[in-house]
Structure 1
Amino acid sequence: MSELHGVEAVVLVGGKGTRLRPLTLSAPKPMLPTAGVPFLEHLLSRIRSVGITHVVLGTSYKAEVFQDYFGDGAKLGLELEYVVEDVPLDTAGAIRNVAHKLRERDVMVFNGDILSGVDLHGIVETHRTAEADVTLHLVKVDDPRRFGCVPTDEEGRVTAFLEKTENPPTDQINAGCYVFRREVVLEIPEGRPVSVERETFPGLLERGARIQGHVDATYWLDLGTPAAFVQGSADLVRGIAPSSALPSEPGEAIVLGGAEVHEDAVLSGGTTIGANTTVAAGAVVDGSVVFDGAVIGEGAVVERTVLGAGALVQAGAVLRDAVIGDGAVIGARCELVGGARVWPDVVLPEAGVRFSADV
């Protein structure tokens, strides 16, 4: 496939990831280990795979973590630049905040917490064929009531941006990926919060600008919640979601270097076992993300759970749909279910207690 020319990328990674706490207390959401590498690395690998090499990261929360890890991007074949957002500027404001780094005619913008299989070539082709001012990736979802929806006409032009409603007129939603003509970016007001959906896009429609929709039904997932984060990581491990950044071939599990997994343990469902982790005999780990240095004891069950770095799950404990902070200790025979979250370094006693709320 030919490389895209005259296109650069902006990735918005400034959010605090509050819905993923306590995981994001120590790292920004796009830097959380996802199928063996920081989530952002999967996105950057997709950007590089279509020939885009200049990428600007719009950062804010723990901005230094991105630059410390990726540096100038040379190891990924990219030229990375960083712009820090000192105060929250919303999506369009964040895009305008990086405008001084832009130099190509077309700018592809990504929300940094979306896992997608969309054809990036296809979006740019749609944009240029339509001679659009802005092109939006629109994805069809089963239940559009949970989102604002974006109707289009017979030529694919966007006609409106609608708030959440019980009776949406279309199943198309904004998927968090856009192509802007650079001139349109420069027209966004500078130095204040600006919403793309409530201000920028409606304003463009009012003055007759062409906003085009690129509609598909490819893989798409917003990783904003613990359940979605776990699902996204598992889908990457199993090869359901596309990425060239996996540290091994897709399968039921990825086991990183230095991990010790007993031959009688069972790993399944797209599990990731972090570096220097220990999984004891009889343990079952299904569809979970286990960060570096964690320990899972004999006969423990860990399902659809995120286990933080250095956390300890003692023998016979059961974790289902849980989030365990870094360094936490889950006592023997404890049971955590139904979205329970354990904050970093909390120690739960060996009492066989059942938890279903934050601890």
Structure 2
Amino acid sequence: MAVFGVVLAAGKGERLRPLTLYVPKPLMPIPGGRLAMQDAVERLLPLKPVRIYVITHYMAELILDAVKRMNLTYNGLLEAIIHDKLLGTAGHLYFLGNLVKDDDIVVVENGDVIADVNMVDAVNFHMEKNLDMTIIGYRAGFQLRYGVLETEGYEVKAWVEKPTINLTISTGNYIIKGKLLRLLNGGFIDMNDYVNLIIRRGGRVGAYLVNKFVDIGTVDDYLKLWCQGK
């Protein structure tokens, strides 16, 4: 069994504009003097991956330059893969289908996510539970702005003022058995549809929860990261 890493760095980062008009989101600087993409790469290093593939499309030449510079630090471990079109957050994994064996593990990181993930523990969890796919999740609370009425028909049984709803969300980090990449055909597919396809085919999908997660998807999120530090 071998471990392969993938950093998704292909998207246009439209929600982070105008910043991403000049630099792709994975190359945005983050606290600590690093690039967002480096946070993803460094989460993978303790797994001793055979290779870390950085998938790029938007402003690919800038990503390529960054990979070359990072390889001076990471001993040539990274390899940039340029795709000529966007294939969705799962569709870009298609090229790995011919490179990995069924029992190999592919760890996928979004290049714009800042998360405290012990990937060694996460992969051990994945293997101990005999899962086909593990989604790195985060338990998030969302407070509603309104009072909520609990009703039976037209009768009000209770009033709950601005309740907090707790949900498990995906952090954009995934552990996938190599055999599942055979389900991809080179077409466009996002990760949510891919996960549902795996489940429909009888695959076992689990969630491994982490305590800290930041998505720098919007300008507000990015500024908040700098205000809080990492």
Is TM-score (shorter-chain normalized) higher than 0.5?
yes
> Larger % of helix: which?
2
Q: Is the 8 A contact 1:48 1:77 kept in 2?
A: no
1:53–1:6 Cα change, 3 Å: closer
Partner of 1:46: 43
Q: Is the 8 A contact 1:137 1:176 kept in 2?
A: yes
Partner of 2:214: 221
Q: Is the 8 A contact 1:83 1:98 kept in 2?
A: no
1:52–1:168 Cα change, 3 Å: farther
**Per-residue Cα deviation, 1:147-171 (whole angstroms, up to 9, x for no partner):** xxxxxxxxxxxxxxxxxxxx99961
Residue 173 of structure 2, aligned match among 149, 174, 177 = 177
**Per-residue Cα deviation, 1:224-268 (whole angstroms, up to 9, x for no partner):** 1111112224444xxxx3xxxxxxxxxxxxxxxxxxxxxxxxxxx
TM-score by length of 2: 0.81
Q: Which has the higher contact order (CA 8 A, sep 6+)?
A: 2
Partner of 1:126: 125
Equivalent positions of 1:204-353 (< 5 A) are: 204-216=198-210, 218-236=211-229, 241=230
Residue 100 of structure 1, CA deviation: 4.3
Task: Provide the rounded CA distance (Å) in 1 between the counterparts of 2:81 and 2:55.
Answer: 5
Identity %: 24
Partner of 1:8: 4
SS in 2 for 1:42: helix
Any gaps of 5 or more consecutive residues in structure 2? 145-162
Residue 69 of structure 1, aligned match among 52, 60, 66 = 66
Partner of 1:189: 185
SS in 1 for 2:141: coil
Task: Provide the rounded CA distance (Å) in 1 between the counterparts of 2:100 and 2:37.
Answer: 20
SS in 1 for 2:108: strand
Q: Is the 8 A contact 1:55 1:81 kept in 2?
A: yes
Partner of 1:291: none
Task: Provide the rounded CA distance (Å) in 2 between the counterparts of 1:189 and 1:96.
Answer: 6
Across the aligned residues of Structure 1 and Structure 2, the Cα RMSD in angstroms comes to 2.5
Q: Is the 8 A contact 2:105 2:175 kept in 1?
A: yes
Flag the structure with larger Rg.
Answer: 1
1:100–1:61 Cα change, 3 Å: farther
Any gaps of 5 or more consecutive residues in structure 1? 146-166, 242-359
Q: Is the 8 A contact 1:16 1:24 kept in 2?
A: yes
1:178–1:70 Cα change, 3 Å: same
TM-score by length of 1: 0.53
Task: Provide the rounded CA distance (Å) in 2 between the counterparts of 1:66 and 1:124.
Answer: 27
Task: Provide the rounded CA distance (Å) in 1 between the counterparts of 2:2 and 2:98.
Answer: 17
Partner of 1:203: 197
Partner of 1:150: none
Residue 202 of structure 1, CA deviation: 1.5
Q: Count matched residues.
A: 209
2:175 counterpart letter in structure 1: V
Partner of 1:247: none
Residue 187 of structure 1, CA deviation: 2.0
